[in-house]
């Protein structure tokens, strides 16, 4: 009798729950980023107010217009959605990583702190998060080709976040993004589109890897993924 069966079944249930939350929050974050793009286009269409951009320099700011105020609100909601998404995605990655280790009988190649540190460590954040996902795939589906959604996810994420426009979201204020929308809106929208695409690819990736993991534990535990049709009785 395989003594790992109860452990694998428990891990499969946990991964399935984590996957559902990760997919939902990825969709929400993608929608929030798309809303930012819509508001940026609205700002560009309205044009720079007669009073000029919000940031006057030297720490001075003029009162915001109603449209600029609404962009601040949309941006804040987007930031909250991204934080929630990051927490859900990392929880899924940790659990499917543990499950992959249990299935393969080998410890993960990278220690668990890298699941978090890999996103913020310079240079390493250019390849390590993808490497963690690739290692999971190799453990749960040995010999199978890496799903294309993994490369789409990582390529779009890097393109959107490491472009000059993408970096502006991390290093600049919301007012500086508003000013950029008045002058270079299509660069902003292009970066937004890549981030939205990365969120969609990530949702597909989460489902693909979770399904592959569940197929390895079918004899032990066959959870019904939330997107599967209900069982007809």
The 3-state secondary structure of 118-156 reads CCCCCCHHHCHHHHHHHHHHHHHCCCCCCCHHHHHHHHH
Mean pLDDT by 10 residues, the chain (233 residues): 54 79 96 95 91 73 88 93 95 90 82 91 91 92 90 93 59 80 89 93 95 69 46 47
pLDDT value of position 41: 96
DSSP, res 1: -
In a domain, 179, yes or no: yes
In a domain, 16, yes or no: yes
In a domain, 193, yes or no: yes
Are the beta carbons of 133 and 202 closer than 8 angstroms? no
pLDDT value of position 101: 85
- Domain range enclosing 197: 5-46+66-216
In a domain, 168, yes or no: yes
pLDDT value of position 72: 93
pLDDT value of position 7: 58
Q: How many separate domains does the chain show? A: 1
pLDDT value of position 51: 78
pLDDT value of position 226: 47
In a domain, 225, yes or no: no
In a domain, 227, yes or no: no
pLDDT value of position 87: 96
pLDDT value of position 215: 74
In a domain, 176, yes or no: yes
In a domain, 58, yes or no: no
Residue 190, Cβ density class (10 Å: 0-12 exposed, 13-18 middle, ≥19 buried)? middle
């Amino acid at each position: 009798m395989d003594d790992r069966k109860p452990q694998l079944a428990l891990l499969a249930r946990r991964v399935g729950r984590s996957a559902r939350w990760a997919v939902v929050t990825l969709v929400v974050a993608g929608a929030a980023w798309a809303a930012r793009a819509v508001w940026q286009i609205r700002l560009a269409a309205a044009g720079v107010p007669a009073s000029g951009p919000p940031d006057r320099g030297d720490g001075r700011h003029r009162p915001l217009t109603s449209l600029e105020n609404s962009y601040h609100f949309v941006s804040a909601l987007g930031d909250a959605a991204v934080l929630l998404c990051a927490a859900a995605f990392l929880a899924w990655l940790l659990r499917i990583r543990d499950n992959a280790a249990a299935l393969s009988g080998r410890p993960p190649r990278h220690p668990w702190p890298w699941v978090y540190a890999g996103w913020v460590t310079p240079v390493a954040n250019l390849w390590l998060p993808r490497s963690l996902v690739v290692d999971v795939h190799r453990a749960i589906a040995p010999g199978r080709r890496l799903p294309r959604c993994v490369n789409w996810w990582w390529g779009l994420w890097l393109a959107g976040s490491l472009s000059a426009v993408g970096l502006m979201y991390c290093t600049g204020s919301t007012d500086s993004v508003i000013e950029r929308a008045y002058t270079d809106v299509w660069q902003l929208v292009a970066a937004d589109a890549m981030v939205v695409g990365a969120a969609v690819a990530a949702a597909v990736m989460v489902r693909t890897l979770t399904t592959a993991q569940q197929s390895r534990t079918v004899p032990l535990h066959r959870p019904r993924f939330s997107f599967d049709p209900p069982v007809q009785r």
